Every structure is written in structure tokens, then in C-alpha cells.
Amino acid sequence: MPHRRLPAEWEPQSMVQLTFPHADTDWADHLETVMPCFLEIAAVISRFQPVLIVCRDAASLRPLLRGNADRIHLLEVMSNDTWARDHGAITIMEEHRPVLIDFVFNGWGLKFPAHLDNLITRSIFQTGIWNAEIRHGGLVLEGGGIESDGAGTLLTTAECLLSPNRNPHLTKFDIEARLQDLFGVKQVLWLNHGYLAGDDTDSHIDTLARFCDPQTIAYVKCDDPDDEHFEALEKMEAELQSFRDLNGNPYHLVPLPWPDAHYDETGQRLPATYANFLVINGAVLVPTYASPQDEAALQIFQKLFPDRQVIGIDCNPLILQHGSLHCVTMQYPAAVKVT
């Protein structure tokens, strides 16, 4: 069997993919609100590395772009929505060569139309922009549903990966075996507790708990006993405390602040979380929510990533459609070149 490895996010990258909103996405009623957020994310990333933007109309988008224009590549590809983390390719290293794994994206268990998003990775590949092999993953799987330490451990949630509308023909044992084979991981750590109200993904791990290095996990912690999340997140914390790395050591666990509750115009709670950060070359982009807890979150990330610049990005517009910063981005390892 060839040696395979799923890189950690903090390893060197070649680019980050964004899929921009348009009038036929769920952002139709919020385009003026959310577009500045997407433009800001692209501009900040372009200061550090290339950005690949999937869009409907490159000619109309290009004049709006800021940042390092030479590092921003636009591709016109049809899309249903904007969640590149979940419809983007997941890159593994196989015998030191990059392989793009194109999994099925079915709108988080058939909740939303995804027939166009499911074709985005293949469409990008067919342009010849990537110098990597592409391979079908054979599973319904989203990038936000898995978290790699780059050293053989995968972190995920049972609620997401065992959803009956994703891979109902497979048992937990089957799925774990597939993950180990596809990604070359030696252990899969399953969280059975933890959720965010307003999250459409069935508790994606990137909203709850994230590796910051092979020994460190940052996680959301609710400190309000009257909050609906308190019990579930307390149980999640206990699970994290029970986890061990491949050497049998407990993880260094870093609780993240609990932002004030955010609601949409109908009164539905929105999934604001600092765990949805993005690591890029030389920087960490942290979602902020105009909350009193923002500054404390930024300070924690600066301690977690002392050699990187920590940059806050207002993601209040993104949570209107129940995602955040990490959800709209997908990074590609340095070996995946833009040709």
C-alpha cells in the first residue's frame, strides 16, 4: 500500500480557494452585506499567498478585488453556494506527491441543492490549473467534517460522519477503515457530543475543536450554565480530556471564548464560533463577531501561533447563512502548484 498522509493546515500552502456568492446562491438577500466580507478574506490571504476564486462572472468581480492582484486567480465555474471547505478538494500526499481527493458533496446530508457544487472540483481540475492527480473519494465527505494533525490522527464527530443521509450503507467501523486507507491515518478520534445551534452541517468538527499543532487542540467552551449549549459542550470537553495522541499522551487543551449569542432577523440563533479559524502561510485568520470576547480570542490565537500574524475578520455576515471563515475557504498544500 502506498504511503499516504493528510497534511495539517499549518503546513506550507500554495493557495486558498474561495467560492464567491452570486444572485442565485442562498446569499441573494444578503449580497450587499456579505460581498465585502468575501473581498476582505481574499485581500488578506493575497498578502501571504495566492487565492483561487471560483465565481460566476470574472469580469464584474475583478474591479472589486483588493490586495495583491497578481496573486488572485479567477475561474468561472457554476455553483450553488459558497462553502469551499465542503465542496473543495481534500489534498493528500501519496509517496510525496499531491493527490486531490474529490468526495461527493450532497448539501450536508441532502439539506440543500448541491448538484453544481459537487462538480466544482472536477471543473477546476479540467482547466489544467492544478499540477496534481485527481481521484474520486468514494464517500460523501466534507472538509469541515475532519481535522488532521498531519501526523496520523484524525479528529471528527459521530453526528456528522454517521449521518444517515451521507453514507447510510457504511457502519462506523467501515467509515473509520475508509478514512484510515484514504488518508493514511493511524487513529480516528470521534466526538459524540457538542453542537452549535443554527449549524446546518451536523456538527462539523471545524466549528467545535481544532488541532493547532500535533499536541494541542483548541475547542469551544461555554461558560454560561443557562446557555442551551452548556451541557453538550461540557460533555465534549470531557471527551477531549480522555483523548490520547499516538504516543499515549493527553492533549494540551485550550478553551476558546464563548461569544455572545447572535440571532438573525427571525430570532434564530446563529453559529458564531472562534474555532472556525484559518491557518495560512505566515498568518492565522480569526473570525470575529463584534463581541466583547473577540479580543480575548485574538490574544489566545497569538499565543497558540506565536510565529504568525493573527488577523481578525468580521464574520457576522457569514453566520447569516450558518457558516464562518473556515467554512468558506479550502487550503491546498505547497506541492499543489497553480500552472
CA-to-CA dists, residue 37 to 154, 269, 307, 335, angstroms: 30, 20, 25, 28
- 8 A C-beta contact, residue 245 and residue 215: yes
- 8 A C-beta contact, residue 204 and residue 160: yes
CATH of range 4-333; options 3.90.180.10, 3.20.20.30, 3.30.1300.10, 3.75.10.10: 3.75.10.10
Q: Give the chain's mean pLDDT.
A: 97
Q: What is the largest CA-CA distance in the chain?
A: 54
Reply yes or no on whether the pLDDT at 1 is more than 80.
no
The pLDDT confidence band at residue 337, using thresholds 50, 70 and 90, is confident
Reply yes or no on whether the pLDDT at 339 is more than 90.
no
pLDDT average, residue stretch 163-170 = 96
**CA dist., res. 250 & res. 241, Å (int):** 7
> Nearest Cα to 287, choosing from 255, 259, 253, 321?
259
Is the whole-model pTM more than 0.85? yes
Q: What is the CA radius of gyration of the chain?
A: 19
